[in-house]
Every structure is written in structure tokens, then in C-alpha cells.
Chain A
Amino acid sequence: MSQYSWPDPATRPLLGKNISRVDGPSKSSGRAKYTYDYNPQGLLAGKILRCPYAHAKIKSIDTSAAEKMPGVKAVDEGTAEDALRLIKVEYEVLPHFVSDAEPPKTVAADTGPISSDDFQDMEENQVPDEEVIAAIQKRGISFKPSDKDYESMKGMGVEPPVIEALRKAKFVAAEGKPKSPYKKTAVQTQGTPDKAIAAAAAVSEGVYGLPCIVHSCMETHGSASEWPGDKEVVIHISTQNVCGIAAQMAEPTGVPAGNINVLQQNVGGGFGSKFSVDRWDVNTAKLSQKAGGKPVKNMLDRKAEFEVAGMRPSAYARVKVAADKDGKITAWESHAWGTGGVGGGGTPPLPYIFEIPNQRKQNTAISTNQGSARAWRAPNHPQAAVITMCAIDDLAAKMKMDPLELVLRNLDIAGPRKDTYREEFAIADELMGWKKRWHPRGDKSPGNIKQGLGLSMHTWGGRGHASNCDFSIHPDGSVEIKLGTQDLGTGCLTIITIVAADTLGIPMEHVKVLYGNNRYPQSGGSGGSTTSGGVTSSTRRAAVDARDTLFEKVAPSLKAKPEELEAVGGKVQVKGDTSRSLSWKEACAKIGAVPLTVRGQNPDKNKPPDLTNSGVGGVQMADVSVDVETGIVRVHKMVAVQDCGLVADVKTAESQVYGALIMGISYALYEEKILDPVTGIVLNPNFEFYRLAGLSDIGELKVHMMTGKAYDERGVIGLAEPPVVSPGASISNAVANAIGVRVPFLPLTPDRVLAALEEAGGSHA
């Protein structure tokens, strides 16, 4: 075992135990300060007037009235203190708004000449040759293949009659049509899906989906900027990316990145939406500059937060999934679509997890006139899980099989974490009582309350990011770690403290972590579950180096070699001879006048092994009841069994999973960003009409973290994304199990439940 390896469980006083978060007292007592709480003397209030239309051109802005208002210190392109209404803005409302309803089956491109991309799409999707030839003859082609191109087509298996058709096709110049809001992505075919579907014992067809939802951070986006010098900016910003902000601020403010100091103690939620400097942050900095460098703070109001500060893209799909008589899934076909705002949409990895041998899939990304999508916990995965796991659940119902049984029979194609899933499903089965309680589709018991069970599974990467720290042991025995990270409430500070104290054999109270400042050693943004692995790895390496350097200084006074020493229980002592020891404080007194400081890094090839890893597995089960008269769904119980490699702190890790389950219940049952289909205006930009789950909505929650040698050995892996992937699918499946029909789209609101029952003939009530 390398000196840097994670220690053996027997010699881990703190790592992997159940420890309260170190910043808990400051948060629960209200002392914790957030960007929103920054309140210096002379603080000016910044305000932004934003365009009220989804799709408009600003024709002119007249800020003169605002500038004349008493108290107004500066106006920047229509930004003024307390004077929004007095800025006159003329807008020209542009005509169209595209919704994310199913895209037309034939888009404009189908009538024009076939481009080389169109042709390639057709070939990759195994469009039958006769159809391809007919299309070429009818529409012409807008490209001129060379003999060399024809040769390579032959090489790729294009049949001679098709090549012949291309040679004879009339050339038609491509039309200069406006860009379509529909863009095909991820067109792909593998194996022989048509044959496999024709040969299948069972084929299930369905449509599934989930709408755009909003991050709904408790603390809205925003920042406070001030200019202590001519070319110097201090910015307090609500961010997941302390070390990434200065580089983004430099160009728009004209200040060298090195002169921009980024500060943040606490952040009131990010969930993927707070990585960048936003337009309003630049405005705020410019306002401060115009106001003589005085601090200006501007946090978005809740309505703006809903409109422009990010959302999770919608995703819908028509799916066919097929299995043989033994319940082995043999084929998958999906046409998915969704929107992520002006930039198009996400592309969920379909089918999720299962490497189904025969597949045909395509995705249409739809551009709509609404605020752009931002990363939302586990980007694309919750969507992929809903579409895939609901389709597989419907397939099981069609085969009159227990979906757990169907999934277990297909774990051999469930990718690199298949053994983890198997182990986890056994535990989840136990915790939920699945095998004892599961019934076939449609609760046949009398009365209007129907009960059902559903399941789902998920994966995520979570390898630790690049992260450095300066690790100091002071001569008085106190330990200080500096790094430019942030704690989103995940327990980041807690696990840094745990790793340091565990390695040095001292109480956690001796360790102080300084963070939230871009002048500290660089540490990556907190996204994609990369922080835990990154910060623990660099802390471990630094702590080991600092400890070993301390041993060198202490060894002579213990009449031992440095390598014979150990740091345990608040002492530095000779291994196997506890009579020769110094208290931690006495040992540190040998450091000399200045603290001992080392740099820890991740990754660090010179200091193996790799202390983090990529790829986790998790499974979840839901137990719900549905009132078939009112359509109201209640979650009674959720079970989550989750792997994240070596669990650094059980308590905060479990909190992450509990939180993900709750956020999942919220998006499964309540959340939807509703746009007016004509104007694109957000109709529910507040917490009265955009409902979040409350304490009364969550039911019983059981979380089981996978631990033990096999998991420990993989190192620390992040946990923020994976557990939030499965709740939507597992709850939707439980509802289908309860009422006997699929409610195709989340959120599972009463109107959707009742509509699904009605469509099925109302015979299930």
C-alpha cells in the first residue's frame, strides 16, 4: 500500500464514520453569510430591467428619466437603483414562439433536395433502399459526390442500386431557407432493429416525457461588485465555481483576471445553474465602476430567476422496446425530442444503462424562445431514466412479469456496474419488501385508493476534479488548509476536515479550512459530482506529506527514524512502542518558528495511487398510493441504495441521497415551468404556482450506502448527481403499477392521472 493510499478501515478514526457537518452550527444559528447577505457600509442597490417578452427586438432605450431620479448614482444600459419603471424601453415583439410539443413528422428539409448529411442519416438509419432511391429521384440531391466518394460509399456498404440512383440524380441547389427550430441529433442505428422487433416475443410501445423544470435555488443568482482601485475588482458572487469566475469577468470589465478577487462563503443552492458570470453580474460590476467604485449588489428577483437563470431541458420520446420469450431485451427504437431554450435541447443517453443489441434512435432538439437550459443535477440522466425505465416497466407489464425480474434478467447488458446493481437490488428488495408486496399492474383491492411499487436505476461518473490546496501545520498544533473551493451544502468542508484530521490523528477541531477565495490554490468548479473526489484526494496527499515532514522534525527527539513514527490519537509516537511519544502539540513545537506548509494536488501522477474513480451505480424503489377519484398521488416510501466508492462521511453522504429523493419527489409530482404557448411568457414564475415538495409530501425515506472493501478500493467518488436520476422513473412506474395504466408525462399531477385513467376507459377505478 502506498503511503498516500486511503487507510485501512481499522486505522480510520474519522473517515467513513457518521460525522456532523462542520459548518452546521453557523448555518443553523443564522450566522452563515451568503452573497445575498453582503451588506457593507454604503452599499448601493442594483436593479435590472429586463425585456418582458420572450422574443423581441429592443428598438431604443431611454434612461434619462431614471438618471434624474433622486438617489440614482449610476445607470448602465438601462440599469438603475429603485427606478425601473422610469426607464423607457420600446420593444418590437417578434412573431413566433415554438413550443416543445412533438415536432412535425416531416420537417421542411424533407421536401427540398437531399443533402449529404440527409443521405448519411438515411444510410445510418437503415432506411430501406427502395425508399432512399425514391427520395433521391423525387427530390434531387444538393451535393456532387466524386468517384472517390462513391468508392468510400461502397466501402461503407451502400448498395449498387443506391449509388446508381445518386449518379443519375438531378442536382438541385440547397434552398436558403431560414434555419428550422428543429434539429436532428444523435441519429444512430446499430444491429438490425427491424428484424429483432419482428422476431420478438413481446414489443411494448409508448410515449414518455418530462417538461422543463427550474433549478429554484433558494438564493437567487447575483453578485456584489466593488472597485477598490482603477483596474481592480472585488466580487462577491453566488457561484459553484469560485476559481472560474475571474477569467470570465476579465474581458467584459477590462480588468486583468489577476486583479479580480472572487469571494464567497456560502451559496444558497446551485444545482448546476451557477457556473458562469452572467450578464447581470457584468452590469453590476459596471454600475459599481460608474458609481465611483462603491459596492453595488444585485440579486435577481424570483421572477427573473425563473425566466433567465437556467432550467432543465424537457425530453419526450416515442419508444418501442422488445424482448424475447425469456425476457431478454433485444431491440430498442426511440424518437426523442425536447427543448433547452434558444440553444436547442439536451440529448438524453438512450437507451439508459442497457446496452441493447439492436437499436435505432434519433433525437430532435427544438429551439424555443425562452431562457437557456443550464446543467441541472446529472444533465440528461433523469430524462434518460424516465424514458428508458418507464418503457422497460411497460414491457414487463406487457409480458406479465415483475419488472424487478425483467431488469435482473438483463443485468448482463447493464454496463460496467452490473454487479453493483445486482447487489443493490437485493438490498432494495429487502428494504422495500418488493418481492412480498409487488402485485401485477392495477391494484385490484376495493376502494378508490390504489397502491403500487416502481423501480429505477442509474449511473454517473463523478471522478474527482483538478484541485489543489496549501496545507499548513502551525507550531502551536493548529492546522490550516487553503483552497479555492466552495461548499454547496454537500459537506465538502466536512470531508476535507475529516481527511486531514484522520491522516494526522488529531481532533477535527484542530483543522480550519479556508475556502471561497480565488486567491487560494485553484480548485475546480463544483459540478458533475467532481468535488468530493478532487478535494479529498488533494487533501490526503498534502496531509500525508505534511505528516511525514513533521515526522522528520520530530524523529530525533524520539530517538527513532521518521518512518518508524505514527500519528494517532493526538500523539506522535514510535510504532509498537507507545512509551516513546509526544503529544500532538509537543510534536508541532518542533516545527520551528514558521508553519510547515506543503502543496497538495489532484491529480498527481508522482504521488500514486489514484484516490478517486469514475462510475457509480444506484437503484431506487417507490411505494405510492393513487386516489383514482381525485388523481392525487402520495409517495409513501422511497428506498435508495447507492454506491459512491469510499464514503468519506456517512452522515452528509446520506443527506445528499435523502435530498435527491426529495428533489426527485418534487419533480415527479409537482414541478413544471409553464410557458404561454403564444407569447412564451413564463406563467408560473413563483413558488405559489411553481410547486415544490414540502415536508408533508415526502413519505418515509430509506437510504442505504454501499460500503465495504470492494467499494473502498475504488476511492472517493462524487454523489451529488446519481441519486437524483431515478425518482421520476421509479415514482411513475409505481403509479402505473397502482392504477394499471401509464401516465406518460411528469409531473404526475391529478389532471394527468385522471386523463390517463379516462383514456384507458375508466375501468380501473
Chain B
Amino acid sequence: MKDDDARKPEATSRVSRRDFMKLSAVTAAIPLVLGPKVVEAAGEEVEVHGPGKVPVTLNVNGKKLSAELEPRVTLLDALRGNFDLTGAKRVCDRGACGACTVLLDGKPVYACSVLAIDAQGGKITTIEALAEGGKLSPVMAAFVEHDAQQCGFCTPGFVVATTHFLQQHPTPSADDIRRGLNGNYCRCGTYNGIRAVALARAGGKQS
């Protein structure tokens, strides 16, 4: 459906962010426009970036990382493609699976659903920073101990989500875990181990 919209941009009256990102792909040939233009939309003045590449600076894992990116580039693509931080994975590419989970200002977000340009000014923490000095974090070590990983593709997203969850719920109940760790998908079926990680950290017993 959205692909159809993208094919006929002139027929689209309401453009969602995702459609906009796709439209940008079509019009990538338009000359670069640097710096935002200000236009009036819905009675407000808004900045318009792009569609060409614009300078973007991100605060990732305590470092300032800069790149020239089209505004349509997601945080996930910037991390993976421009900064070679490949721990966060693209799986569903539409905010359903959580494999791309990173922390933005301490909160878990799906990096596939945040534009890099919008993440500027925020503090971004990826899985790579959670293993300080190459040493496994306690949550990572618990993932190993409870074998909460098989193919491992969803694991970094789960580790980030679990790390944040356990900060919020140091002694989670089984219900907390069901609700709090339900935002990520795994296909190999490692939920039993992940549940054990959360319960063990709580000093609880698996039920």
C-alpha cells in the first residue's frame, strides 16, 4: 500500500513520516540543499531539512560522531552504515520486533523508527557501550549463564531492553517481566532463558 503511494506521490495528500522517507528515495536526484529552509505549515513555522544530505552530529556512547546524511536516514542506518556500530540489528524495519533497540536519553527506542536527524542532541547508548572495557555487563553475563540466546541476532536488542527493564524494576515480578520484556521478538525461542535472566537478577525463582 505504502509502496503504491510512493510510486504516485502526486496522488498522496497525507504523507506519513515513513511515506516521506520513501518519497525521499525517489527524489534523491534533486541537488543537495544544505541547512534548513523555514516554511509555514498548519499555521506554524517549521524547518525543512533536505531532501539532500545535511550535516548530522550524534552523541553516541559518549562520543560525538558526525556524518552527512539525508534527513530520511534512520538512527539505525546511521549507526550501522556510517559508524559501523552493528550490534543493533534490522529485522522488521518498522517498529515491531525490537532487534534495533538502543537507549536514547536513557530510554529504550526502536532505532529503525527514529530519524538520525531527530536523535541529535540526545544521548544515544548502544549495546557496544554496555560492555565496558570489553567486559561483559552483569546482564550480558546472565544471558550467557542462562543461555538466553541461540542464533543471537535478536540478542543485542534484548540485552539493551533487559538492561533498562532491570534498572526500572530491580526486583521484577513474573507479571512485570511479561509486560516489560514483551517488546522484542525472538525466532529461535530464547524467551525462557531471558525470563530466567530477569528472575535471577531479581533473586526470584522461575515460575
Spell out A's residues near B (CB within 8 Å): 20-21, 23-34, 36-37, 39, 52, 69-71, 82, 84-86, 216-219, 266-269, 271, 301-302, 488-490, 651-652, 654-656, 658-663, 666, 686-688, 692-696, 698, 700-701
Determine how close the nearest CB of chain B comes to the CB of A584; give it in whole angstroms. 25
B contact residues around A659 at 8 Å (CB)? 150, 188-190
Q: Are A663 and B189 in contact (CB under 8 A)?
A: yes
Q: Which of B6, B156, B178 makes the CB contact (< 8 A) with A85?
A: B6
B57 at the interface (CB under 8 A from A): no
A contact residues around B179 at 8 Å (CB)? 696
Q: Are B177 and A489 in contact (CB under 8 A)?
A: no
B contact residues around A267 at 8 Å (CB)? 151
Q: Are A700 and B207 in contact (CB under 8 A)?
A: yes
Determine how close the nearest CB of chain B comes to the CB of A728; give it in whole angstroms. 14
Complexed CA–CA distance, A15 and B3 (Å): 53
Stretch binding the partner chain, chosen from B13-21, B39-47, B113-121, B125-133: B125-133
Q: Are A20 and B87 in contact (CB under 8 A)?
A: no
Contact residues of B between 141 and 194, Cβ < 8 Å to A: 141, 143-145, 147-156, 159, 177-179, 181-182, 184-194
Q: Are B147 and A28 in contact (CB under 8 A)?
A: no
A contact residues around B152 at 8 Å (CB)? 23, 26-28, 32, 266, 268, 489
B contact residues around A21 at 8 Å (CB)? 144, 147, 149
Could you pull out 8 A-B pairs where Cβ atoms are within 8 angstroms?
Answer: A24-B144, A25-B140, A28-B152, A34-B89, A655-B150, A687-B185, A693-B191, A700-B207
Determine how close the nearest CB of chain A comes to the CB of B164; give it in whole angstroms. 15
Q: A217-B151, A694-B185 are in contact. List 10 more A-B contacts (CB 8 A).
A: A28-B140, A30-B86, A69-B29, A218-B185, A267-B151, A269-B151, A686-B92, A692-B185, A694-B182, A695-B182
B65 at the interface (CB under 8 A from A): no
A contact residues around B86 at 8 Å (CB)? 30, 33-34, 36-37, 39
Determine how close the nearest CB of chain A comes to the CB of B165; give it in whole angstroms. 11
Q: Are B92 and A269 in contact (CB under 8 A)?
A: no
Q: Which of A28, A69, A654 makes the CB contact (< 8 A) with B155?
A: A28
B contact residues around A34 at 8 Å (CB)? 86, 89, 153
Q: Are A695 and B25 in contact (CB under 8 A)?
A: no
B contact residues around A655 at 8 Å (CB)? 147, 150, 190, 192-193
Q: Which of B84, B144, B190 makes the CB contact (< 8 A) with A39?
A: B84
Determine how close the nearest CB of chain B comes to the CB of A27; give it in whole angstroms. 3
B contact residues around A29 at 8 Å (CB)? 87, 127-128, 130-131, 136-137, 140, 156, 159
Spell out B's residues near A (CB within 8 Å): 3, 6-7, 25-26, 28-29, 80-81, 84, 86-94, 96-97, 99, 126-128, 130-131, 136-137, 140-141, 143-145, 147-156, 159, 177-179, 181-182, 184-195, 207
Q: Which of A30, A33, A39, A489 makes the CB contact (< 8 A) with B151?
A: A489
Complexed CA–CA distance, A26 and B81 (Å): 20
B contact residues around A698 at 8 Å (CB)? 191-192
| Complex A-B, nearest 9 residue pairs according to Cβ-Cβ distance, in ascending order | A30-B87, A268-B153, A662-B189, A659-B189, A27-B152, A489-B150, A489-B151, A30-B127, A24-B144
B contact residues around A70 at 8 Å (CB)? 28-29
Determine how close the nearest CB of chain A comes to the CB of B116; give it in whole angstroms. 17
A contact residues around B177 at 8 Å (CB)? 695
Q: Are A302 and B92 in contact (CB under 8 A)?
A: yes
CB-CB nearest in chain B for A266: B152
Instruction: Known A30-B127, A85-B25, A694-B185; judge A268-B193 contact (CB<8 A).
Output: no
A contact residues around B192 at 8 Å (CB)? 655, 658, 662, 698, 701
Instruction: Known A218-B186, A651-B147, A700-B207; judge A82-B28 contact (CB<8 A).
Output: yes
Complexed CA–CA distance, A656 and B149 (Å): 10
B contact residues around A36 at 8 Å (CB)? 86, 89-90
A contact residues around B84 at 8 Å (CB)? 39
Q: Are A39 and B193 in contact (CB under 8 A)?
A: no
Q: Are B151 and A219 in contact (CB under 8 A)?
A: yes
CB-CB nearest in chain A for B28: A82
Q: Are B189 and A302 in contact (CB under 8 A)?
A: no
CB-CB nearest in chain B for A217: B187
CB-CB nearest in chain B for A694: B182
Instruction: Known A269-B187, A269-B188; judge A219-B97 contact (CB<8 A).
Output: no
Determine how close the nearest CB of chain B comes to the CB of A513; give it in whole angstroms. 16
CB-CB nearest in chain B for A22: B144
A contact residues around B184 at 8 Å (CB)? 694-695
CB-CB nearest in chain B for A65: B29
Determine how close the nearest CB of chain A comes to the CB of B42; give it in whole angstroms. 28
B contact residues around A660 at 8 Å (CB)? 189
Complexed CA–CA distance, A269 and B149 (Å): 12
Q: Are B127 and A686 in contact (CB under 8 A)?
A: no
Complexed CA–CA distance, A24 and B148 (Å): 9
Centre residue among B90, B136, B155 by max chain A CB count within 10 A:
B155
Determine how close the nearest CB of chain B comes to the CB of A429; give it in whole angstroms. 21
Complexed CA–CA distance, A490 and B189 (Å): 12
B contact residues around A37 at 8 Å (CB)? 80, 86
Q: Are A695 and B191 in contact (CB under 8 A)?
A: yes
Determine how close the nearest CB of chain A comes to the CB of B176; give it in whole angstroms. 11
Complexed CA–CA distance, A215 and B187 (Å): 9
B contact residues around A489 at 8 Å (CB)? 149-152, 188
A contact residues around B191 at 8 Å (CB)? 662, 693-695, 698
Q: Are A69 and B28 in contact (CB under 8 A)?
A: yes
Complexed CA–CA distance, A696 and B181 (Å): 8
Complexed CA–CA distance, A29 and B160 (Å): 10
B contact residues around A216 at 8 Å (CB)? 187
Complexed CA–CA distance, A582 and B59 (Å): 55
A contact residues around B94 at 8 Å (CB)? 302, 686-688
B contact residues around A52 at 8 Å (CB)? 3
Centre residue among B7, B152, B195 by max chain A CB count within 10 A:
B152
CB-CB nearest in chain B for A688: B96
A contact residues around B154 at 8 Å (CB)? 218
Complexed CA–CA distance, A654 and B155 (Å): 18
B contact residues around A28 at 8 Å (CB)? 136, 140-141, 143-144, 148-149, 152, 155-156, 159
CB-CB nearest in chain A for B154: A218
Q: Are A85 and B7 in contact (CB under 8 A)?
A: yes
A contact residues around B159 at 8 Å (CB)? 28-30
B contact residues around A490 at 8 Å (CB)? 150
Q: Are B153 and A652 in contact (CB under 8 A)?
A: no
Determine how close the nearest CB of chain A comes to the CB of B86; give it in whole angstroms. 4
A contact residues around B145 at 8 Å (CB)? 20
Q: Are B96 and A686 in contact (CB under 8 A)?
A: yes
CB-CB nearest in chain A for B90: A36
CB-CB nearest in chain A for B87: A30
B contact residues around A271 at 8 Å (CB)? 187
A contact residues around B190 at 8 Å (CB)? 655, 658-659, 662
Complexed CA–CA distance, A34 and B140 (Å): 19
CB-CB nearest in chain B for A303: B3
Centre residue among B29, B87, B187 by max chain A CB count within 10 A:
B187
Determine how close the nearest CB of chain B comes to the CB of A80; give it in whole angstroms. 12
Determine how close the nearest CB of chain A comes to the CB of B207; give it in whole angstroms. 7
Q: Are A24 and B92 in contact (CB under 8 A)?
A: no
Complexed CA–CA distance, A694 and B193 (Å): 13
Determine how close the nearest CB of chain B comes to the CB of A489; give it in whole angstroms. 3
CB-CB nearest in chain A for B92: A687
Q: Are B178 and A696 in contact (CB under 8 A)?
A: yes
CB-CB nearest in chain A for B148: A28
A contact residues around B149 at 8 Å (CB)? 21, 24, 27-28, 489
Q: Are A218 and B26 in contact (CB under 8 A)?
A: no
Complexed CA–CA distance, A409 and B155 (Å): 45
Q: Are B155 and A27 in contact (CB under 8 A)?
A: yes
Determine how close the nearest CB of chain B comes to the CB of A658; give it in whole angstroms. 4
Q: Are B87 and A696 in contact (CB under 8 A)?
A: no
Q: Which of B6, B136, B185, B193 makes the CB contact (< 8 A) with A25?
A: B136
Centre residue among B86, B128, B137, B178 by max chain A CB count within 10 A:
B86
B contact residues around A268 at 8 Å (CB)? 89, 151-153
Centre residue among A28, A86, A269 by max chain B CB count within 10 A:
A28
Q: Are A663 and B92 in contact (CB under 8 A)?
A: no
